[in-house]
Amino acid sequence: MGEGVLLSETESPKAPTHWVVPQETLTQSFPYEAAMAVVAGQTLISGVLSPRWGLEPGLDYLEYSTPEELRRIVEHSLRYPQSTQLMSWRGKLKSTIFLASQVYPRLLSSLD
């Protein structure tokens, strides 16, 4: 599996704001890099995710289907990096439902 690509508003690799996850296979999946980007609070730019694990394209991450669409998203993201701040916040917020501190208490309470 390929690696995601960080886009940054500065040249410093310490301040990434966006993460592009390429679709390298013909099958749809939820790549590890996509999960890492969402948990880190970065804007995720990805091909079709399946399963989506509760994430909504256009609200929690940017979804592309063609190379031209990816190019346009990346150009916009580099030009206006703050334009997706709310989107990355929503994605990170949704990722918290999978934290062990949230999952195990729900699991244990369902056993009662």
Does the pLDDT at position 46 exceed 70? yes
- Cα(57)–Cα(32) distance, integer angstroms: 17
ω into 16 cis (within 30 of 0):
no
Separation in Å, CA 39 to CA 46, 59, 112: 15, 15, 31
Segment 64-97, tens digit of pLDDT: 989 999 999 999 988 998 888 899 899 888 888 8
